[in-house]
């Protein structure tokens, strides 16, 4: 509530595009939806949809509100994929990220991307409450509500999809004006006052989301509690800004009673929150507060929880939060003390604690200790991207580039769609003096973030660096294929402009 966006326009454009429920092109013609002729949703292939999502994400990641934190985004993405495994089949993998924004909201982008405001996570009082909103958003994706929205809007108002297509065409041409295009798209959406899905779509998302939530083992009551939280927040705040979720996902008595009826028939699952939920929540409280008075307020509240007699995960998370604040102030000993307290109990240990421990060692300039901490942490948490990335940072600082290279190649196999790993591997190749490999890996990086023209440039640079005939012809093939893909997507998008 104390946080103010630095670049509201760019973000508003992005959010409005989504809030309007129009940004998700269909990958196939949904049953029962009339054909749109040239602008049919059927023409947006999953690959084009993913490219579109990637391109919007490329802009989104540059927003100062984007939370570039591997611990947080992996936690959210793992939760999203776990829910999606218990729902209808989808063509896109779910990728979830957090935005630093105190307003309670969540939204879906093309390509299976889902954004969650920090305000929604910090307002959640249990992991099942957070999971209930995420399940609802995933259901909007799986039930093609956004896809239908864009098909219908293409019918009634060509302007929005044309603006979006124009923006992506700019990105494909390498002119990088997607932010402007996205803002235009958002304005068009606002003018059209198409904020929100239909009541029917909301009820369907509740139903499908509830199925996912309970099949995945979360507490069904979480959905009721979250709904009540959202409803009371919207009653308290007449202005829609305080509770955006209500304006983009209309809350109705009908929905509330449907949810209650569904939950009424379900026994409690006995779900126990993971420690990670509480650590991620504590970190986001601090990130959301930013600095000054707001940060001091959060710190005081964490201090009072940290001093409680009663042993609890909340107390442990408060200590973790205080360690994170101390790190920000360069009070390393203090940070280590709080962190040790947070991990006192074995069942409260989680990768987030170890990632923070490595960060403290790195910030304190303690290379040997950092290396030992990182090695141990990786042995403990071989599924943690946050720990893996911190380990690479330590290896690079210690000049252990061969080890970093080996480790990164394995991690890319483990997590093929994490762009940061490619960036770090390219850096490592550069340090090892292999410019050709560095450029090729950067080409993969740019493909992952949807910047196809830049990927072509990287491959051309690699082509110029090598005199090996085999490599040259391999690169020629790659460049040709990528250019064909850019051209195909450009042609498809052009149809939406007319």
Give contact residues for Zn ion (rule: CB under 5 A): 202, 205, 249
Distance CA 405, CA 358 (A): 20
What DSSP designation does 66 have? B
Distance CA 3, CA 6 (A): 9
Q: At closest approach, how far in Å is the CB of 140 from Zn ion?
A: 6
Say which residue the tokens 């779509």 belong to. Answer: 201
134 vs 395, which CB is nearer to Zn ion? 134
127 vs 202, which CB is nearer to Zn ion? 202
Helix/strand/coil percent split, the chain, to 5 = 70, 5, 25
Q: At closest approach, how far in Å is the CB of 129 from Zn ion?
A: 15
Distance CA 371, CA 361 (A): 9
205 vs 408, which CB is nearer to Zn ion? 205
In a 3-state reduction of DSSP, which class is residue 128?
helix
202 vs 244, which CB is nearer to Zn ion? 202
270: left (phi over 0), alpha (psi -120 to 50) or beta: left
Is residue 24 within 8 Å of 109, Cβ to Cβ? yes
Q: At closest approach, how far in Å is the CB of 11 from Zn ion?
A: 20
Strand order in the sheet with 95-99: 95-99, 113-117, 106-108
Per the structure block, which two tokens stand in for 328? 């920000």
69 vs 206, which CB is nearer to Zn ion? 206
Q: At closest approach, how far in Å is the CB of 145 from Zn ion?
A: 8
Distance CA 280, CA 275 (A): 9
141 vs 421, which CB is nearer to Zn ion? 141
Cα separation values, 205 from 84, 127, 213, 258, Å: 13, 19, 12, 12
202 vs 273, which CB is nearer to Zn ion? 202
162 vs 189, which CB is nearer to Zn ion? 189
Which candidate, 98, 9, 111, places its Cα nearest to that of 54? 111
Q: At closest approach, how far in Å is the CB of 260 from Zn ion?
A: 17
Is residue 291 within 8 Å of 362, Cβ to Cβ? no
205 vs 371, which CB is nearer to Zn ion? 205
Half-sphere exposure of 481 (CA within 13 A, CB side): 9
Q: At closest approach, how far in Å is the CB of 135 from Zn ion?
A: 11
Number of H helices, E strands in the chain: 24, 3
197 vs 445, which CB is nearer to Zn ion? 197
In a 3-state reduction of DSSP, which class is residue 417?
coil
Q: At closest approach, how far in Å is the CB of 246 from Zn ion?
A: 10
Q: At closest approach, how far in Å is the CB of 120 from Zn ion?
A: 13
Q: At closest approach, how far in Å is the CB of 206 from Zn ion?
A: 8
Distance CA 129, CA 134 (A): 9
Q: At closest approach, how far in Å is the CB of 82 from Zn ion?
A: 20
């Amino acid at each position: 509530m104390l946080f103010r966006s630095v670049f509201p326009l760019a973000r508003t454009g992005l959010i409005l595009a989504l809030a309007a429920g129009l940004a998700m092109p269909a990958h196939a013609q949904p049953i029962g939806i009339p054909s749109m002729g040239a602008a049919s949703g059927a023409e947006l292939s999953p690959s084009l949809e993913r490219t579109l999502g990637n391109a919007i994400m490329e802009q989104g990641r540059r927003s100062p509100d984007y939370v570039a934190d591997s611990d947080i985004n992996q936690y959210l993405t793992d939760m999203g994929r776990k829910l999606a495994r218990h729902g209808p089949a989808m063509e896109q993998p779910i990728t979830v990220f957090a935005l630093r924004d105190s307003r309670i909201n969540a939204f879906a982008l093309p390509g299976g991307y889902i954004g969650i405001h920090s305000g929604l996570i910090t307002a959640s009082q249990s992991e099942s409450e957070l999971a209930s909103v995420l399940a609802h958003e995933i259901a909007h994706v799986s039930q093609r509500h956004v896809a239908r929205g864009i098909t219908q809007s293409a019918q009634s108002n060509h302007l929005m999809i044309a603006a979006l297509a124009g923006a992506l065409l700019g990105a494909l041409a390498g002119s990088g004006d997607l932010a402007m295009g996205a803002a235009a798209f958002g304005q068009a959406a606002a003018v059209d006052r198409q904020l929100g899905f239909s009541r029917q779509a909301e009820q369907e998302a509740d139903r499908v989301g509830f199925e996912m939530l309970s099949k995945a083992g979360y507490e069904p009551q979480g959905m009721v509690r979250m709904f009540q939280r959202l409803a009371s927040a919207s009653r308290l705040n007449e202005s829609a800004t305080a509770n955006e979720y209500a304006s983009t996902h209309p809350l109705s008595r009908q929905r509330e009673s449907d949810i209650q009826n569904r939950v009424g028939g379900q026994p409690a699952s006995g779900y126990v929150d993971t420690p990670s939920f509480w650590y991620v929540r504590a970190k986001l409280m601090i990130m959301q507060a930013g600095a000054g008075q707001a940060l001091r307020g959060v710190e005081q509240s964490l201090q009072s929880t940290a001093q409680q007699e009663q042993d609890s995960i909340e107390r442990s998370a408060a200590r973790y939060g205080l360690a994170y604040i101390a790190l920000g102030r360069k009070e390393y000993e203090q940070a280590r003390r709080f962190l040790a307290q947070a991990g006192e109990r074995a069942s409260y240990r989680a990768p987030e604690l170890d990632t923070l421990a490595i960060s403290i060692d790195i910030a304190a300039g303690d290379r040997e200790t950092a290396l030992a901490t990182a090695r141990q942490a990786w042995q403990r948490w071989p599924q943690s991207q946050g720990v893996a990335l911190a380990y690479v940072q330590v290896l690079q600082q210690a000049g252990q580039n061969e080890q970093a290279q080996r480790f990164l190649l394995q991690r890319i196999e483990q997590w093929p769609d994490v762009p940061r790993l490619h960036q770090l591997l390219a850096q490592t190749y550069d340090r090892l003096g292999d410019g050709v490999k560095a450029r090729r890996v950067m080409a993969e990086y740019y493909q992952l973030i949807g910047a196809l023209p830049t990927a072509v440039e990287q491959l051309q640079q690699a082509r110029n660096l090598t005199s090996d005939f085999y490599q040259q012809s391999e690169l020629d093939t790659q460049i040709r294929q990528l250019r064909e893909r850019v051209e195909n997507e450009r042609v498809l998008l052009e149809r939406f402009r007319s």
